[in-house]
Amino acid sequence: MTTKKGIIFLLFFIFFQLNFALAQNELSLEGKRGVTVITHGFAAGGNLSEEWINFAKAVRKRAGKGSVFINHPETGLWEAVDDQNTNNKEDEIIFIYDWAWASDNLRSGYLDACADHLFAALLNPPKELNLNHTTALLEKPLHLIGHSRGAILLNILAHKIGWYFKASPQIRIEQFTLIDPHPAGPMGDCDLPGILGLCPPPKDYESKDISLNLPRCVIRADNYFRQDGVYEDLITNKNFGPYDGISVSGLRDCNFQLNDESLTYGSSTMGGAHASIATRWYYGTIDFENEYNHPIVESWYVEDDKFPAMGPRQKTGYFYSRLGGGIMPEPVLEEDKIEAVMPQNLLFNGDFKVERTLWKGKIPGWEGNGAAGEAKLSPQKYGDELAIRLERPKFNILKKSIHFRQHSLSYFPENIEDFTYEIQLEYEVKNKTKGNNSLKVSFFFPDNTEEIILKEINLSETKTDFKTVYIPTNPKMLGKVGAIRISLEGEDNNCMIDVKSVRLLKVAK
């Protein structure tokens, strides 16, 4: 009898301790504020749906108070979405990243360019927050939430955080929430880091045939995905573009495969279940009152006679988050994570190898997000390499700024260990010139308040073959966000030059 009482007491004690631990975990999450970054996926027509703005506002509402910012697609700077921000750096800070204008381009490079810019934007906090150093946002508890290709974009962002700040243990991603992550085959997403297996997979594939491995800087993750057996089905008898999501390695019970038929029921014809899973099903787990009237189907969360429930609504999805009131996911298994991959180009597309089809002036990394200038790719090809042509025509009736091109805002890392950085510039004078012209390489801060002239090269010479010059970086630009500009200065005398590369190189001291 004593033994039986002892066992009962022991079980009761264990039960009490477990519940106490869970309660402590919930209490430790309560009031813990940080940064939430939200990204959408493919946006047909290049327009951001208002549902995504509401998504970000719902997170602010769930936090009790905070600030919501959205990037301006042209300037690349953060702007408040409304007048409800507290602008208090101790409250939750929410960023909705608008890359709609680039997401629908059927060409590789735009996802990478936008990930490069988002990384820089997070290192250039909104002035309203009065944060006093570049990495202030990344040092806060960080929650990434990405849908479809937006989840793949955030995975590239995670690699950048892991690679640039591998020596900073306080800079980590506390949680990465992936919602139907979809590496798009036509856009070259299958070649990005961490994607394992067949990409894109064949028809009637199994979930194990394709998956995603996260970088080591990600501590926790939860994934919500659904599949209908056709990875990139353009048109079905139900809807248009119901692309499949993929699983994520090492998440154990937090790799949630949702019921595709249930999600399809009540979904719009555009995007089907793939579109509904983010701004409707997952959104419904954030905003229980549905303040913004998103088309939410109650049978998604409550069992009925037609489909199994994917809920209950208050205990799934956002429930497993820092502000959701539930238990955070277990850390991702270390053996399923990979080392952060070094970016191929420290200045994305500095060699102009990625261009946008049909629109020759559109070049990933050199348009939008703080980019400027109208200089286009040279009509002359150099093997498989391309170049930007800078011109100073005698007559420029339309007054186009074809004499310069400015890169999107990027992060220029500090010198680390035994390495420093320099800019490699390759250029060729295309015609004989009379007068004074020069090729100028400058660095502009995000608000254009200060310009650093890195190099000015005199061009009073006859036509030459390509020359390569190496330009030391200015200490004032290192560890900062800014944009590189190449410009042809001087007289309007029909001078033309082709610039084949503007690369940022990591070199030994």
The structural architecture, per CATH, of the domain 34-231+242-259+273-293+314-336 is 3-Layer(aba) Sandwich (3.40)
Instruction: Give bridge partners of residue 498 from the DSSP assignment.
Output: 389, 428
Domain 388-508: state its class: mainly beta
Compute the distance between CA of residue 275 and CA of residue 205 in angstroms, rounded to an integer: 21
Which pLDDT does position 333 carry in this prediction?
Answer: 96
Domain(s) of CATH 2.60.120.200: residues in the chain: 388-508
Domain(s) of CATH 3.40.50: residues in the chain: 34-231+242-259+273-293+314-336
Compute the distance between CA of residue 363 and CA of residue 366 in angstroms, rounded to an integer: 5
Task: Render each residue's pLDDT in the chain as its tens digit; 509 residues.
Answer: 445 555 444 444 444 444 434 333 333 444 489 999 999 999 877 889 999 999 999 999 999 999 999 999 999 999 999 999 999 999 999 999 999 998 888 778 899 999 999 999 999 999 999 998 899 999 999 999 999 999 999 999 999 999 999 989 899 999 999 999 999 998 889 999 999 999 999 888 888 899 999 999 999 999 999 998 888 876 554 556 678 999 999 999 999 999 888 888 877 666 688 989 999 999 999 999 999 999 998 889 987 767 777 889 999 999 999 999 999 999 999 999 999 998 888 999 999 888 765 455 678 999 999 999 999 999 888 887 889 999 999 888 778 899 999 999 999 998 766 778 899 999 999 886 677 899 999 999 998 888 999 999 988 765 678 899 999 999 999 999 999 999 999 989 889 999 999 999 988 77
Compute the distance between CA of residue 80 and CA of residue 468 in angstroms, rounded to an integer: 43
User: Angle 244-248-252 (CA atoms, 0-180°, nearest 5)?
Assistant: 125
Compute the distance between CA of residue 36 and CA of residue 323 in angstroms, rounded to an integer: 10
Compute the distance between CA of residue 222 and CA of residue 252 in angstroms, rounded to an integer: 9
Q: DSSP readout, 270-299?
A: BTHHHHHIIIIIIHHTT-TT-TT-----GG
- Residue 187 one-letter amino acid: M
Which pLDDT does position 23 carry in this prediction?
Answer: 39
Compute the distance between CA of residue 81 and CA of residue 58 in angstroms, rounded to an integer: 13
Compute the distance between CA of residue 146 and CA of residue 245 in angstroms, rounded to an integer: 12
Compute the distance between CA of residue 233 and CA of residue 239 in angstroms, rounded to an integer: 10
Which pLDDT does position 310 carry in this prediction?
Answer: 85
3-state secondary structure 185-238: CCCCHHHCCCEEECCCCCCCCCHHHEEECCECCEEEEEEEECCCCCCCCCECCC
| pTM for this prediction | 0.90
Name the pairing type of β-strands 480-490 and 410-412: antiparallel
CB 65 within 8 A of CB 91: yes
Name the pairing type of β-strands 467-472 and 388-392: unpaired
Coil vs helix vs strand at 433: coil
CB 330 within 8 A of CB 487: no
Compute the distance between CA of residue 351 and CA of residue 386 in angstroms, rounded to an integer: 7
